[in-house]
Each structure stands twice: as structure tokens, then as C-alpha cells.
Amino acid sequence: MSILILSGLALAFSGFATNSIVMDRHYADIHGRGAEPGPALKRRMRLLGWLGLALSFAACIGASGWHIGPVLWCGLLSIAAWALTLLLQYAPRKAIQGAWIGIPAALTAIALLIGR
């Protein structure tokens, strides 16, 4: 189960990161002052970000069931959000790279959830 939980954490981080890189402040931090994300990009990234968070929830439920899973999810969300906050401050470009971790994590989580 620990791999499922780990992918849940990665998905939470990736989901937040994907959401954050099209937020005005962080977009400007990454791409230079004054840069603004286009509306289409914004919509797509937000959709992907929320998808990541939803999958992270599914992974937690899969790992710990409906009783404990939501509690675990809240904890993982906090950890992921703190890590991302620090990353966006000290190495904002890394947030884009970090967001990619969601792809392998999503594949792992889906494989583990279906394979059960």
C-alpha cells in the first residue's frame, strides 16, 4: 500500500503545482514580470490540477479505505502544499518540472487501483 500512498502524495503535489503555475503571481515569478497566462492555458492547467487532486484522493481511499483514507488525504495535501510553497519561493521554475511527476504517479495509482 505504501506505493499507492506515495503516488497519492506525488499526485497531490503535482495537482497543486499544476494549479499554481498558472496563478498570476507564480506565472510572473517563473516567466518574468508582467507575463500573464492565456485563458486557454489557465483552464487546461486548472483542469489537470484538479484531476491530479481527485486522483490523489482516489489513491488514498484505495490505500486506506473510506474511513481513514480522507484523513490521510488531508495530511498529504498539507505536506504537498507546504513543499510547493517553499519550492515556488526559492526555485519557482522547478515547480513546472515538479508538476510532471503527476504523470508517472497517475499511471502507477491507476494501475494499482485497477489491479486490486
Partner 1 sequence: MKQGVVVKQGLRQSMSWVHTWAGLLVCWLLLLVFMAGTAAYYRHEITFWMKPELHQAANAPTRIATVDAAALAVRGLQQRAPDASGWLIELPHERNPLITASWTNPPKKGMSREERRNALRQQNFVLDPMTGLETAAPRDSRGGEFLYRLHFDLYYMSALWGRWIIGIAAMSMLVAIISGVITHKRIFKDFFTFRPKKGQRSWLDAHNATAVLALPFHLMITYTGLVTLMFMYMPSPTKALYGDDQNTMFGEVFLNADRSQPARVAAPLVDIRPMLQQAERAWGQAPTRIVVSHPNDAGAQVQLVRPSGQQLSNIEPSMTFNGASGALIASTDAPSTTLAARGAIYGLHVAHFADPLLRALFFICGLAGCAMVATGALLWGVKERQKYAKIVARGGKVGFGVRLVDALNIGAIAGLPVAFAVYFWSNRLLPPDAAARSNLEANCFFAAWAACAILAQIRPTRGMWRFQLTLGALLLGGLPLLNAFTTDTHLGVTLFAGPALRAVAGFDLVTLALGLLLGWAAWWLGRTSRKQAAAGARSARGAAAASSTAQEAA
Of the CA atoms within 13 Å of residue 12, those in its CB half-sphere come to 24
Query: From residue 83 to residue 102, what is the string marking binding to partner 1 with x (rule CB under 8 A)?
Result: -xxx-xx-------------
Grid coordinates belonging to 79? 505536506
- Give the amino acid at 88: L
Residues 69/109, Cβ–Cβ less than 8 Å: no
- The Cα–Cα gap between 46 and 52 comes to 10
3-class DSSP state for residue 21? coil
Residue from the set 74, 103, 107, 111 that interacts with partner 1 by CB under 8 A: 74
Min separation Cβ 89 and partner 1, Å:
5
* Window contacting partner 1 (CB under 8 A); options: 17-25, 36-44, 48-56, 106-114: 17-25
Binding residues for partner 1, rule: CB under 8 A, are: 2, 5, 16, 20, 23-26, 64-65, 67-68, 71-72, 74-79, 81-82, 84-86, 88-89
